[in-house]
Structure 1
């Protein structure tokens, strides 16, 4: 009898702890979302970043001829991006510049200007379709944004939608529960 009670007591305690642990997991978790910065806070944060070594390097690059060329390319296609319009392009290279860390992408010529077209991370089925692209293929692109970085001599177009010969090759899946 002593041995039974000695065995039952730890089992009862362990199951009680597990039960209370399960109950706490079912309670809703309330997370506070960060408040968006005001215009003044945003401007102050930008000024603070511009004073850092990375910020100084970026500002110097932006003022250089290479930075101005990249900025001009970004401005050239901004109206298409803001209006969510399609852009026609021609693939010029199937590989990105050496050292790129942009996920899957190709080099593309849009309106006489070279761009990096980056799709980011893609699934295996999308990779197969994207690998069917060839140099000089004419494609239709939709994008949500264009960015620039001192590491690259070209503006970076974020690909949302890619079509060749009226067939969709890639379509970005929007983030779940987000913007």
Structure 2
């Protein structure tokens, strides 16, 4: 009889311990505070610290180089259109990105006489970029973007593609983020 009682109580004790452990871990994660955004002075100090690192020094040298200045000027040319999310006319100049790029799927385009990398991100198993694969060199397209960036690794500014239209037909529109604004 004692063995039967022990056999019934032991699983009850183990399950109770697991329930309390899971409950405690949920409370611990909810107690962690969300870090507050840095103030302007803190951001400036953090940037100064980064600029003193080897990567920061390398980036500052690239910014001062002729190639870096060219990229920064090209990025500045379209910054107003990017911030206004305005239509930009572009011509596809290459269907592949520069060798060694790790930007995912993208094409090279010319906007107002300057070359840009038009990047769409990593290809998923779905057919999100299927119509973009139909682009050809010299196709005239209308694009919209939310950001332009640059990196010393690339000789061109990188435009994130949100919307692409060819011959008045939408061939790509980025899906809105799930659970975000």
TM-score by length of 1: 0.90
Alignment partner, residue 10 of structure 1:
10
2:166 is aligned to: 164
Task: Quote the offset at 1:6 in angstroms.
Answer: 2.7
After TM superposition, list the pairs within 5 Å mapping 1:11-90 onto structure 2.
11-21=11-21, 23=23, 29-90=30-91
| Separation in 1, partners of 2:72, 2:141 | 23
Distance 1:122 1:32, change over 3 A: farther
SS in structure 2 of the partner of residue 131 of structure 1: helix
Contact 1:160/1:170, CA 8 A, preserved across alignment? yes
* 1:101 alignment counterpart: 102
Q: CA RMSD in A?
A: 2.0
Q: 1:47 to 1:135 in 2, by over 3 A?
A: same
Match of 2:156 in 1: 154
In structure 1, list runs of 5 or more residues that go unmatched. none
1:110-157: per-residue Cα shift (whole Å, max 9, x none)? 111100001112432112222121111111111111111110000101
Q: Across the two proteins, how many residue pairs are aligned to each other?
A: 179
How far 1:79 moved relative to its partner?
A: 1.1
1:132 to 2:134 alignment: yes
What is the alpha-carbon distance in structure 2 between the residues aligned to residue 114 and residue 26 of structure 1? 51
Over 3 Å counting, the alpha-carbon distance change for 1:128 and 1:90 in structure 2 is same
Helix, strand or coil at the partner of 2:177: coil
> Structure 2: which 5+ runs fail to align?
none
Task: Give the structure-2-normalised TM-score.
Answer: 0.89
What SS does the aligned partner of 1:126 have?
Answer: coil
Which residue in 1 is equivalent to 2:176? 174
CA deviations on 1:20-51 (whole Å, 9 max, x unpaired) are: 35555776835422212111111111111111
Aligned with 2:36: secondary structure? coil
Q: Distance in 1 between matches of 2:5 and 2:110?
A: 79
